[in-house]
Amino acid sequence: MYSDTVMDHFKNPRNVGEIENPDGVGEVGNPVCGDIMKIFIKVTNNIIVDAKFKTFGCGAAIASSSMATELVRGKTLEDAWQLSNKAVAEALEGLPPIKMHCSVLAEEGIHKAINDYRKKNGLPLWEEKKTHSHDHAEDLTCEH
């Protein structure tokens, strides 16, 4: 059911933990399954130089946070903002349709962390575009 990449990132997640004195933190949750993801970023000269996460959630959410933190490291805030949940899922070589919503947490967590950084630095917040792709648009049902 899961790709080797998903299993790899689930079993050996990258960037687990907290950043001390983070420049931005984003916490998001899925009200349906109760899973929670917290993303920490360190920003230098508009570049995300470090990203870590703590996820209390399903395997797909853990793999998504691991991959998302890998993908945004070294990116400018603008580029990191463009990271969609679909791109995270693609980098994981796909997620089962019923698990696509788990990758949405990663996109939202990164967005919140970036906006937290922008708020702390007196910059205007960026607006969430509904970029997420759920395979079943309104279906947020989680099945563990």
State in angstroms the smallest separation of the CB of 76 from ligand FES: 28
Is 102 one of the catalytic residues?
Answer: yes
Is 58 one of the catalytic residues?
Answer: no
**Which of 58, 67, 77, 92 touches ligand FES (CB under 6 A)?**
58
Question: Any contact of residue 105 with ligand FES (CB under 6 A)?
Answer: yes
Question: Any contact of residue 24 with ligand FES (CB under 6 A)?
Answer: no
Q: CA angle, 65 as apex, 31 and 133 as ends, to 5°?
A: 65
Give helix 59-72 / helix 100-120 axis angle, nearest 10°. 40
Which uninterrupted H or E stretch holds 54? strand 47-56
89, 102, 105, 114: the active-site residue: 102
33, 43, 87, 88: the active-site residue: 33
State in angstroms the smallest separation of the CB of 129 from ligand FES: 21
Q: With CA atoms as reference, report the closest residue to 38 among 48, 28, 49, 51.
A: 28
Question: Nearer Cβ to ligand FES, position 77 or 102?
Answer: 102
d(CA 52, CA 135): 27
Q: With CA atoms as reference, report the closest residue to 143 among 36, 58, 30.
A: 58
Contact residues: ligand FES, CB under 6 A:
30, 33, 35, 57-58, 60-61, 102, 105, 142, 144
* Residues designated as active site: 33, 102
